[in-house]
Amino acid sequence: MNDSWNPYAQAIAASSARSERVIVSEVDLRKFCTAMLVAYGVPRDDADLTVDVFVQSDLRGEESHGIRLLLQVLYRIKAGGDFPGDRSEIVSDRAATALIDAKRSLGQPVAVRAMQLAIDKARQFGIGMVGVRNANSYTSAKYYPLMAAAQGMIGITYTNSGVQLVTPHGGRKPLVGTNPLSIAAPALENSPFVLDMAISPAMEKIFQAYERDEKIPAGWAIDVDGYDTENPADVLASRSLLPWGGYKGFGLGLAHEILTCVLMGGQLFGGGATGFLPHDGPMNVSQTFQAISIEHFISLEQFKRQMDEALNAVHASGPRPGFDEVYYPGEKGFLEEQRRAREGIPVQQRVVSELNALAAEVQVGPLA
């Protein structure tokens, strides 16, 4: 396995044992992770923003983009790959649009500020669009459109990736990243609609299957020889994921490349970056954030009521055999968030151990 790119190589080399989980309270997790980021030189406000992104992922059951990836951020800050302070610069600011050069600043605070700028512009012009280049990963795509939904708007984001992982349809060599898209819209009585999808399986899910000693579904990835595989170890070696929907999924990923790095002057296909590793290397990510002011079209109440009508229609469609209930996009995440807020957040023991090892270096108390 090529350790020069693989963000999981250290964990794989450290132990062949599958990782068990421990339950951590949301309060304790937030307090510990914020203290860690501050100890690594991140300003307190930025630390709070960053932790909120990761904890929301874990609360909603998106563990592949939760605290396990905060480890990679800490390693990158330590090595110099992510700059702990915000040194981003607004390159252009014209009416409904803006362009930001992140200059390798910590990904989550830059993304939050870019989304808020898009929201502010939408409030004035009806629509706002902000691009970011030379960025680090913002991890959970859904977080940023949900900011717009919370302010009575529709939010949209898409991003390219700092590592080539997805092959063209029928191809063998990875060309684009997983390049996710997320759209969120508010409702009245229902939780917001939120679509969060990559163009392929997430590499983090492959590693989760590896840790649990589970197979992956057929059609997710290929091995080093280009053949379909259900063995996650084969995929960690090949780094080759298949796009959802064949040529349609790959086409969507290429469109995201155009709407991010090509439009924003970033580096095509990540410019040869290899993801979180090496920890001192650039990720070369480009991102786009959009906000649409609903009230520039119809009243917010009318929009929310019709959203409820649409979402309730999903419920009323009724489950087919093998399913207990029909959910609209984002609903299960909100239900899981409520449950984990009450019962605690499951975190892999491996992740806790690594976090505590880093904490000891900077004299932060351990995560219980």
Q: What CA–CA distance (Å, rounded) separates 136 from 139? A: 9
Q: Could you tell me the two tokens for 134?
A: 């030379």
**In this predicted structure, what is the pLDDT of residue 97?**
98
Structural contact between residues 50 and 37, judged by C-beta atoms closer than 8 angstroms: yes
Q: Which residues of the chain have pLDDT under 70?
A: 1-19
**Domains of the chain from N-terminus onward:** 13-81+339-361 (1.10.1530.10), 89-200+245-302 (3.30.1370.60), 201-242 (3.30.60.50)
**In this predicted structure, what is the pLDDT of residue 3?**
46
**In this predicted structure, what is the pLDDT of residue 368?**
82
Structural contact between residues 330 and 186, judged by C-beta atoms closer than 8 angstroms: no
Q: What residue type is assigned to position 146 of the chain? A: L
Cα 249 vs. chain centroid, distance in angstroms?
A: 18
**In this predicted structure, what is the pLDDT of residue 203?**
86
Q: How far is CA 23 from CA 73, 340, 351, 357, 367, in A?
A: 22, 10, 12, 18, 11
Q: What CA–CA distance (Å, rounded) separates 321 from 324? A: 8
**In this predicted structure, what is the pLDDT of residue 6?**
52
Angle at 344 between CA 341 and CA 348, to 5 degrees: 130
pLDDT tens for 15-28 read 334 568 899 999 99
Q: Which residues of 304-322 are buried (b: 16+ CB within 10 A; e: fewer)?
A: beebeeebeeeeeeeeeee
Q: What CA–CA distance (Å, rounded) separates 289 from 97? A: 10
Q: What CA–CA distance (Å, rounded) separates 274 from 76? A: 13
Helical ranges in 179-330 per DSSP H: 203-211, 232-238, 247-257, 263-264, 300-316
Q: Per residue, what are the HEC states of 126-170?
A: CEEEEEEEEECCCCCCCHHHHHHHHCCEEEEEEECCCCCCECCCC
